[in-house]
Amino acid sequence: MNVPSNSKPDLTAGEDLLVVVADPQFQRVVKVSFDLSCNNTVHLYKTSHEACTFLTTNAEDIKAIIFTMEKNDYNFSDILEKVHKSLPKITLVIITSGHTASEYNQLARFPYIRIYSKDDFLKNFSKIMVKDLGLNIPQSDDHYIKIEIETLSFVDGLEKDVFMKDPATGHYNSLFRRGSILAKDEIAIYKSKGLKHVYLEKDVIKEILPQIDAQRSLFASYSGFKFVLRSDDDPLDKRFEQKIMRFQDEIIIDGEFQQQIESAVEKTLSYLQKKPNSIKFLKQLSSLRSTERFLPEHMILLCFISSAWAHKLGWYSQGTKDKLVFASILHDITLAARPHLAKIRNLAEFNAQRLTLTDKDQELFLNHPEECSRLVAQHFKEAPHDTAEIILQHHERPDGSGFPKKINFTKMPPLSMLFILAHDFVENFIFQDNYSLKIFLTEAQERYPQQNFKKMLRTIGGEGPSDGNYI
């Protein structure tokens, strides 16, 4: 919501901004965002009372005010009185929720007002900096951007040169070299010695701002969250850490990446509207398969095979197809940047390779059923409820020798059983030349001797119609 205004006065580097934000988590994201986005002095306060105390002697220095206004909160009038002489040259940005136009009457004296919801402010922060405040780091003349040294503790992966300014000569000397890992206690030590500010090169700010824009809403939602910064020069597994982020007990997925997955699910479901023919599909795919593209081919095959077999079993509902497609695309998604882990088929193969894997790789592999299951439950609301359970159990085995829960067939619902069979077949099909459904059905008799699995395999193999009962 914008209140009509005349052309506004742009801020320049060094001019002062007053920010009044009560919520501590939101205050933190605003503070770090401003610090990494401008060379201006930002005065940050929690309450109007604190801000007014500051304004008693500094009102004429303020060129912009950013204020979070709660519904029926009229304390802002106290600040108005402090800056009334400077009103013509002040830009006001209000962050609000649930207000009506009549509640803004007290702001009428401000000629330059912009009003945003909290979500819009977070999503459009960089645009607001340029459009409403006239602050544009990429186009500024500053080669170095001053930030508080504490801001370094709110980012992960800032492997760039960090400088300090010599007050005597004005020269910039490297404090932390590119590739340094900044420990929080190291930052505290420099603060205790009186170092309050450090400097980043403008080109570094230009590189990291889009990443910060993409994660700003996450930063405001999770207490203690750090911006995850990565470079184009980083290897795939490092860059993928921006797609699926682990923080405390949370697994957080990047919004753009989530949309890409949802689009893939939608397209796959559209393709599977026709009755699937697994034999024809496998003949078409056999000439294209490649273990170098294991993960995407694994997902595509699993989508089709599991859906085709569900159809043979008499499970025709759209809900069943939705569960299987979501599970096929997302069951290994946390391993997407580590295809060597996704290729490990069971605990026996994992134990054979354990000594060649890093501790982090071992943890990722063993935890991926639970992590992928939580990811679906928390972030993919369109996925049917049982999808998370199918993903959680896809490495379980009917005799209880699988992982992560080591459950046996008595605790597996029918769709989990079907997915385990389809998963087993697809992995063998990709890795073995001339592998066929006939070979799989023969081998599966030994791997899955339990009656409910045997009955399912007979139907998949074409031995009579299904009655739909596999319990």
CB 244 within 8 A of CB 272: no
Residue 435's φ and ψ, nearest 5 degrees, are -75, 145
Q: What residues does each domain of the chain span?
A: 1-138, 143-232, 255-460
Tokens linked to 57: 């002697």
- Which pLDDT score is estimated for 470? 39
Indicate the Cα dihedral angle 318, 323, 329, 335, nearest 10°.
Answer: 180
Q: Which residues, other chains included, contact 408 with Cβ-Cβ below 8 Å and sequence gap of 6+? A: 396, 397, 398, 399, 400
The contacts found for 317-325 with CB under 8 angstroms, 24 or more apart, are 319/384, 320/415, 321/269, 321/272, 322/269, 322/383, 322/384, 322/387, 323/383, 323/384, 323/386, 323/387, 323/390, 323/415, 324/390, 324/415, 324/418, 324/419, 325/265, 325/268, 325/269, 325/272
- Which pLDDT score is estimated for 451? 93
Q: Quick one: which H or E segment has residue 350?
A: helix 347-353
- Give the gyration radius of the chain's Cα atoms: 29
CB 388 within 8 A of CB 427: no
Q: Please choose, from the candidates 90, 232, 88, 89, the residue with its C-alpha nearest in 3D space to the C-alpha of residue 157.
A: 232
- Which pLDDT score is estimated for 65? 86
CB 326 within 8 A of CB 380: yes
Considering Cα of 120, then 123, then 125, then 130, what sign does the dihedral take?
negative
255-460: CATH class: mainly alpha
Do 255-460 and 1-138 fall under one CATH topology? no
Tokens linked to 53: 């105390």
Q: Please choose, from the candidates 460, 427, 430, the residue with its C-alpha nearest in 3D space to the C-alpha of residue 442.
A: 460
Q: Please choose, from the candidates 145, 127, 126, 138, the residue with its C-alpha nearest in 3D space to the C-alpha of residue 206.
A: 138
What's this model's pTM, rounded to 2 decimal places?
0.78
Number of other CB atoms surrounding residue 187 within 10 Å: 18
Q: Which amino acid is at 159?
A: E
DSSP state of 311: H
| Yes or no: domain 1-138 corresponds to CATH 3.40.50.720 | no
Tokens linked to 65: 């005010």
404 upstream amide cis, omega within 30 of 0: yes
In the chain (471 residues long), the average pLDDT of successive 10-residue segments reads: 50 78 87 84 87 85 82 64 68 73 59 84 88 74 85 84 89 79 76 88 88 88 85 85 85 90 90 64 54 79 93 93 96 92 94 96 96 94 94 97 96 97 94 91 95 94 55 35
- Which pLDDT score is estimated for 187? 83
Percentages helix, strand, coil for the chain (3-state, rounded to 5) are: 55, 15, 35
- Which pLDDT score is estimated for 400? 96
